[in-house]
Structure 1
C-alpha cells in the first residue's frame, strides 16, 4: 500500500471514530493510539508508523463497540489484521 493510501485510510478511521462518537454520544477511549502521537496530517512520518496507528485505532474502535454493545457479528480473534489485509 502506498503512503498516500495509508494517510487516507488513517484519516478515514479518525472520521469514523468522530462520527461514531457524535451519533452515539459515547467517547471511544483511544489511549494506545494517543500514545503513538501521530495523526493523519503528520505526512512526514513513515509508512510503518501510519500503519501501526491505523491498526491501533481500528482495534480500539472495535474493542469499544464489542465491550459496550451486543455484537450481532461473531468476531474471530485468530485472524490477524495483517493476514486479513493481505488476503484482500
Structure 2
C-alpha cells in the first residue's frame, strides 16, 4: 500500500501520471489478501520499477533547502 501512496503523492506533486501497465496487468492489489506472498512481491517490485523508470525519464525540479524556512518542531511516531 505504501508504493500506491508514493505513486499518488508523486502524481499529485508533479501533475504527471505514472504509467503502471505492467502492474495493472498482474491484477493484484494490496487488498487481495487471498493472493500468495510471491504474487504480492512480484507486484510490488513491478510497481516500484515503473515508478522509478518514470521518475528517471523526467527531469525533476530542484528543491532548495533552507534551514531558515524549516520548522523547529519535529513530529515523531512511537
Give the TM-score normalised by structure 1: 0.66
| Larger Rg computed on CA atoms | 2
Q: Which residue of 2 aligns with 1:57?
A: 47
Unaligned 5+ runs, structure 1 = 1-10, 71-88
Q: Is the aligned partner of 1:31 residue 2:26?
A: no
Aligned positions, number = 60
Where structure 2 has 5 or more consecutive residues not aligned to the other structure, the ranges are 61-78
Q: RMSD of the TM alignment (CA)?
A: 0.9
Aligned mate of 1:66, from 51, 56, 77: 56
In the TM superposition, structure 1's runs of 4+ consecutive aligned residues that sit over 6 Å from their partners are none
